[in-house]
Structure 1
Amino acid sequence: MFDVYKELWTRRRMVHTLSLHEMKREYAGTLLGFAWGLVNPLMRIAVFWFVFSIGARAGRPVDGAPFFAWLAIGMVAWFMLNDGFRSSNKSFRSKRSLIKNTPFPIAVLPAVQILYNYYMHLILLVVMLVVMAFTVDSFSAYWLQILYYDFAALMLLLGLGSVTAPLVAISKDFGRFLDTVLVFLFWMTPIFWSIDNLGKYAAIIKLNPFHYIVQGYRDSVFFKVGFWEQPLYTLYFWVVVFLLLILGNYLYKRMKPIFLDIL
């Protein structure tokens, strides 16, 4: 039933090697090299912090957590989700020359893009946590829980990438539609605002699996809440991931002959 993911596991070393190659290719010829993986997200965090904390005068602590630190951790989680989803759903179309000209195991391409973005995410995450260890009095063993949420995010992205990559390979319009969906998800995921402000409508936002990851980061860093303390929400998240993985495996096998002809 999970033939695609069995192939991924069999070729896991290839996925790792190709993801590192993507990192080298992306920053080849630049003066700062991998440092650009830090400069761009840190500049975006700074701009949003200025707009929402200074310009909008909305920089009050959130449940006791400093607004800037709370915002920064949410943004770090979002960058991983956004970049991983955006690159994985375009993985077949962006590598069409490779697919058409070589006998390449194309099933691994979404995972390669996801892992590449995750490695860049780790650099940013480590820098951010080091800064917070010296500036925010929240360091605890719960920080280790971020590893669980990273694994959960990778599995979610793999499911989403497996579902959307074949569809984007067939239709450029679907790729543009997904870009619009990501903008919508950005503002509907509680990154700049607290879900507590929604009252009874908070349950609707929690249907967005991206919220599970973003809130999980904040629970780990600031609020000392374990994922096991919300078993129903955790179960819901993994059911969604499982269904995405099943659907992704099905779509890949059914649509592979079609998008290979179109690319």
Structure 2
Amino acid sequence: MFDIYKEMWDRRKMIHALSLHEIKKEYAGTVLGSIWGLVTPLLRIAVYWFVFSIGNRVAEPVGGAPYTAWLAIGMVAWFLLNDGFKLSQKSFRSKRSIIKNTPFPIAILPAVQIMFSFYTHLILLVVILITLAVALQTVSVYWLQVIYYDFAAVMLLLALGSVTAPLVAISKDFGRFLDTVLIFLFWMTPILWSVENAGRFANVVKLNPFHYIVQGYRDSILYHSGFWEHPLYTLYFWVVVLVLFILGNYLFKRMKPIFLDIM
């Protein structure tokens, strides 16, 4: 039932090495190198802060937390989810030459792209945590809970990548559709706005598993709330991940001969 994930685990050292190679290749030829992985998201956070705090002047504290810190933490979580999903769903199609010309274990490709996103995410996360520790003058043991939410995010991305990568390999249109879905998810996931503002639709918004990760980051760093305090929501998230894992394994095994011929 979980053949492709077993292969990912068995080849975890290979995935680690390839993801580091992807980072080197991504920033090869640039003066700042991998620092661009830090500069770009920080600039995006600054732009959203300026628009909502200075431009619209609607950036009030959220649940007692400063809006700037609340926004930055949500954006850090989103960058991991967005980049990991975007790269993993295109992992087969973007590596056509490797797939067609070498006996490569293609099942690991989504994991390589996700770990590439995760490693760049860790740099940004450390910078944001240090900045918040200085700005808020507080550090909590709950911050360690981010490790759990990072693990949950990687598992969700692996499941989503396994489902979508075979479909995108067959249809470029589906890839474009997913890019549109990501834009929709950015605005519908409470990153720039609080889920409490959704009123009676708040529970519908929470069905989005991305919200579980984003809110988990904020609960850990700002509100000092444990994931065990939301047992039903946590159970729902992991059931969704499990269903996606099963579906991803099934689609890969059924569609592998098809997309190998098409590509």
Shorter-chain TM-score bucket reads: over 0.9
Q: How does 1:137-176 map to 2 (within 5 A)?
A: 137-176=137-176
When normalised by structure 2's length, the TM-score is 0.99
For 1:58-207, list aligned pairs within 5 A: 58-207=58-207
The answer to whether the Cα contact below 8 Å between 1:52 and 1:58 also exists between their aligned partners in 2 is yes
Q: Distance in 1 between matches of 2:59 and 2:254?
A: 50
Aligned counterpart, 2:235: 235
**Unaligned runs of at least 5 residues, structure 1:** none
Q: Distance in 2 between matches of 1:62 and 1:2?
A: 41
Q: Is the 8 A contact 1:166 1:256 kept in 2?
A: yes
**Secondary structure, in 3 states, of the residue corresponding to 2:65?**
coil
Q: Structure 1 residues 151 and 5, CA, compared in 2 at 3 Å: closer, same or farther? A: same
Q: Does 1:245 align with 2:245?
A: yes
Residues 1:215 and 2:215 aligned together = yes
Residue type at the aligned position of 2:70: W
Task: Write out per-residue CA displacement over residues 156-215 of structure 1, whole angstroms, 9 at most, x where no aligned residue.
Answer: 000000000000000000000000000000000000111111222110000000000000
Separation in 2, partners of 1:226, 1:201 = 24
1:63 aligned counterpart, secondary structure: coil
Report how many residues are paired. Answer: 263
1:57 to 2:33 alignment: no
**TM-score, normalised with respect to structure 1:** 0.99
**TM-superposed deviation, 1:138:** 4.3
Work out the percentage of aligned pairs sharing the same amino acid.
Answer: 74
Distance in 2, matches of 1:119 and 1:56, equals 34
Instruction: Decide whether the 8 Å contact of 1:138 with 1:221 is kept in 2.
Output: no
Amino acid at match of 1:224: H
> Following the alignment from structure 1 to structure 2, what is the Cα–Cα distance between the partners of residues 62 and 137?
18
How many Å separate the matches in 1 of 2:60 and 2:47?
A: 17
The Cα offsets for residues 36-55 of structure 1, whole Å up to 9 and x where unpaired, read as 00010000000010001110
Q: Distance in 1 between matches of 2:81 and 2:108?
A: 18
User: Contact 1:216–1:227 at 8 Å: present in 2 too?
Assistant: yes
- The alignment yields a C-alpha RMSD, in angstroms, of 0.6
Structure 2: gaps spanning 5 or more residues: none
Q: Is the 8 A contact 1:162 1:252 kept in 2?
A: yes
| 1:217-248 CA distance string (max 9 Å, x none) | 00000101100000000000000000000000
Q: CA deviation at 1:139?
A: 1.8
Letter of the 1:105 counterpart: P
**For the residues of structure 1 that align with 2:154 and 2:97, how far apart are their CA atoms?**
26
Structure 1 position 27 matched with structure 2 position 27: yes
Q: Aligned equivalents of 1:115 and 1:136: distance in 2?
A: 30
Secondary structure of the structure 1 residue equivalent to 2:50: helix
